[in-house]
Chains A and B, each alone.
Chain A
Amino acid sequence: MLDKDQYNQDEYNDYYKQEIRGAETSGIEEEEPSKKGKILAILSLIILAIAGYFGYSSMNNSTTDETLVVKKEIEKPAQTVQTVEEEPKKVEKSVVVAEKEVVKKPLESVQSVTEEKTTTSKDNKVAEVEKNREKAVGTNEKMSPEEIAKVVQMVMSKMNNKPKEVAINSTEKEESKSSVDTELMSELSKINTDSIDEENENKKLEDALNNIDDATKDSNIKNDNKTVDTYNKVKVSQNSSNNDELSKLSSQISNLISDKEIDSQGEKPKDEKIYTESLKGEVVTRKNEMRIIVVRKGDTLGKIAKRAYGNIMEYKKIYKANPDILKRPDRIYIGQKLRIPK
């Protein structure tokens, strides 16, 4: 009996394991990595924030005392700036390190350079701003523990998509040097070739912008066989063949109303004229706020995201904004009109 029970128990265990494995491979598999990624990202952000806070507060404390010591150390940051310009990926690192006031930490080789020029060029400038600030303020190694720096490095290696945010944070702290920043930003916009491409593209796409109503209609026509899409929009056609009373009423009304009458405002009181006019202004505003990009040969969502936002990882934003057109982020087709949210 015991043997049999034992056998049953083993069988049960085996079955149980199989079931767990099955669950792992079938259902949960798709969600797990993204969750892990999110958790990692959040954790790393928290660590960064804490490190940044300590670094920043310590910097504030030490500004007056250590100016003499600082003069000796100025040379080293200057060197890092030079290396920074040669190897763009290191720049991000130096930005973060600078923010944590661990400037003297030697720059190690980071993982392969995959990111675009846009962010790195921005980072160059940001890094320079940081160096300027250090010259004025002074570096401080005492207060920032090296452990935090190591953790930050590890985190950075896992955060390909985050360095831009960090850079932005560091620029935000530069409120006192806002004039410098604006100059840098104007330079950046000149340097950034992608943005120039974007402008040209925008000119080409003015027609698409003007016909944004048509564009949204097109996107619905593609889903003709499917009446309800993610937007929960149903397309109906107003034909004269519709015989129900409501359709008749609707067509009677629309026959009664000509577009000219809406526009003609001859006898209106002045404030109402202004009211209607200002409403029309909002229509134009709305058209300008939504940008439409037509997919060209060789485009991927990542490339479009890079052109639009300067960051490949922003492709999710575009993907989410076009649920009726894009079923999968890796399937886009030439001629598709994608909405690019600002």
Chain B
Amino acid sequence: MKKLLILPFLASLVYAEDNTLVKITDTIPYAYTIDSGKKVKIERIQDTSNRLTDDYTKTSRPCPPFCIQPTKVHPDIKNIEELEILQFMKDKVTTNKGVIIDARLKSWFELETIPSAINIPFPVMLDADKKKAEMIFKILGMRVEADGTWNFDNAKELVVFCNGVWCGQSAHFVKGLLKYNYPTSKVRYYRSGFQGWKLLGLTTVVHKEIKK
């Protein structure tokens, strides 16, 4: 008899699960990642009448510098899109094997960004001398061997993105990465970028100011 009573309760739970109207895919209603030590639920905006209103609805910015980007940022670097990024968050970011890099300038990053992304503005990477690059790469998991060679075996996998298809900041960042031989197999390029992310109504994060 108790089991019978429990059944409707379970059924209601299942129903609640299906309640997401705007899912990510037909089998994935939402996903989780970690940002600044906090678990962040990534879902899409459920208001089906919602439209973008501000920055990422703009069609025309002066080119240069805001030119349409080629599909590939480098022949050996794979492109990935939203679903792969969600998978990347689950497989790599939460297990500390990979990071998502927001290559935009700090002002953009602070305003709004993809959950779990860290900011390395592209000029930092592009202008880095060898010493600086070494410091950055060390943080990203590169090891310096006894003979001074750089060992990238444990280096983190990177997903690089910027504002979107009209934004060349990722390309500049990747240029800086490859200048010091960061393995191309460990880099991915998210070409749709932040605009693509916003366009799908996916969760974004705003970082409060860092208190020092």
With A262-B121, A286-B55 in contact, is A279–B105 under 8 Å at CB? yes
* Set of chain B residues within 8 Å of A240, measured between Cβ atoms: 211-212
Q: Is A268 an interface residue (CB 8 A)?
A: yes
Query: Residues of B contacting A232 with CB < 8 Å?
Result: 43-45, 201-204
Is there an interface contact between B41 and A228, defined as CB atoms closer than 8 Å? yes
Please determine whether B105 and A280 come into contact, CB atoms closer than 8 angstroms: yes
Q: With an 8 A cutoff between CB atoms, is B70 at the interface?
A: no
Q: How far apart are the CA atoms of A252 and B139 in the complex, in Å? A: 7
Chain A residues with Cβ under 8 A from B107's Cβ?
213, 283
Does B105 contact A246, Cβ atoms closer than 8 Å?
Answer: no
Closest to B45 in A: A232
Choice from B45, B121, B201, B204 contacting A257 with Cβ under 8 Å:
B121
Within 8 A of A (CB), among B164-192: 168-169, 172
Residues of A within 8 A of B86 (CB): none
The answer, among B38, B119, B169, for a CB contact under 8 Å with A279, is B169
Q: Which of B108, B118, B124, B207 has the most CB of A within 10 A?
A: B118
**Chain A: interface secondary structure?**
helix
Question: B159 contacts the other chain (Cβ, under 8 Å)?
Answer: no
The answer to whether B61 and A238 touch across the interface, beta carbons within 8 angstroms, is no
Chain B residues 115-133 with CB under 8 Å of chain A are 115-116, 118-121, 123-124, 126-127, 132
On whether the beta carbons of B105 and A234 are closer than 8 Å, the reply is no
Cross-chain contact B136 with A246 (CB below 8 angstroms): no
Q: Is B110 an interface residue (CB 8 A)?
A: yes
Determine whether A237 belongs to the interface, using a CB cutoff of 8 Å to chain B.
yes
Assess the B115–A254 pair: CB atoms within 8 A: no
With contacts A235-B208, A236-B207, A282-B66 taken as known, whether A245 is within 8 angstroms of B96 at the C-beta atoms is yes
Q: Does B8 contact A (CB under 8 A)?
A: no
Q: How far is the CB of B132 from chain A (nearest CB, A)?
A: 8
- By a CB distance below 8 angstroms, the chain A residues around B40 are 234, 236
In the complex, identify which listed stretch (B11-19, B29-37, B142-150) lies at the interface while the others stay far away.
Answer: B29-37
Taking the complex as formed, is A8 at the interface, i.e. its CB lies under 8 A from any CB of chain B?
A: no
Please determine whether B64 and A246 come into contact, CB atoms closer than 8 angstroms. Answer: no
| B135 within 8 A of partner (CB) | yes
Q: In the complex, are the beta carbons of B204 and A247 less than 8 A apart?
A: no
Which residues from chain B contact A243 at a C-beta distance below 8 Å? 37
**Given A232-B202, A246-B99: A237 in contact with B208 (beta carbons within 8 A):** yes
Size of the A side of the interface (Cβ < 8 Å), in residues, is: 51
Give the shortest distance, in Å, between A320 (CB) and chain B (any CB).
7
Q: How far is the CA of A279 from the CA of B204 in the complex (A)?
A: 22
**Chain B residues near A236 (CB, 8 Å)?**
35-36, 38, 40, 205-208
Set A230, A252, A279: member contacting B47, Cβ < 8 A: A230
* Chain A residues whose CB sits within 8 angstroms of the CB of B206 once the complex forms: 216-217, 220, 233-236
A341 within 8 A of B: yes
Mark each residue of chain A from 270 to 297: 1 if its CB lies under 8 Å from any CB of chain B, else 0: 0010111011101100100010000000
Q: Is B75 an interface residue (CB 8 A)?
A: no
* Complex: A261 Cα to B206 Cα, angstroms: 24
- On chain A, the residues within 8 Å of B43 by CB distance are 228, 232
Tell me if B65 and A250 are in contact (CB < 8 A).
Answer: no
Q: Is the CB of B119 within 8 A of A253?
A: yes
The reply to whether the CB of A242 lies closer than 8 angstroms to some CB of chain B is yes
Q: Which of A216, A253, A259 has the most CB of B within 10 A?
A: A253
B106 to A246, Cβ gap below 8 A? Answer: no
By beta carbon, the residue of chain A nearest B93 is: A246
**Residue A256 CB within 8 A of the other chain:** yes
A267 to B121, CA, bound (A): 17
Q: A216-B111, A238-B36 are in contact. Are A253 and B126 (CB under 8 A)?
A: no
Supposing A246-B34, A256-B139, A341-B54 touch, asked if A239 and B211 sit within 8 A by C-beta, the answer is: yes
The residue on A at minimum CB distance from B38 is A236
| Cα(A109)–Cα(B36), bound, Å | 66
Closest chain-B Cβ to A150's Cβ sits at a distance in Å of 36
Tell yes or no: A249 within 8 A of B by CB. Answer: yes
Min CB distance B105 to A, Å, is 6
CB distance from A277 to the nearest CB of B (A): 9
The closest CB in chain A to the CB of B101 belongs to A253
| Given A228-B41, A236-B206, A253-B120, also A282-B61 (CB < 8 A) | yes
CB pairs A–B below 8 angstroms (15 shown)? A213-B110, A217-B208, A228-B203, A232-B203, A234-B41, A235-B208, A236-B35, A247-B37, A250-B36, A250-B119, A257-B121, A261-B127, A265-B123, A275-B168, A279-B105
What 7 pairs between A and B have smallest CB-CB spacing?
A242-B37, A237-B208, A250-B118, A278-B65, A236-B36, A245-B96, A232-B45
Other A-B contacts than A243-B37, A261-B124, 15 sampled, CB-CB below 8 A, are A213-B107, A228-B43, A232-B45, A233-B206, A234-B35, A236-B207, A237-B207, A237-B208, A242-B37, A249-B99, A254-B210, A278-B65, A283-B107, A283-B108, A320-B53
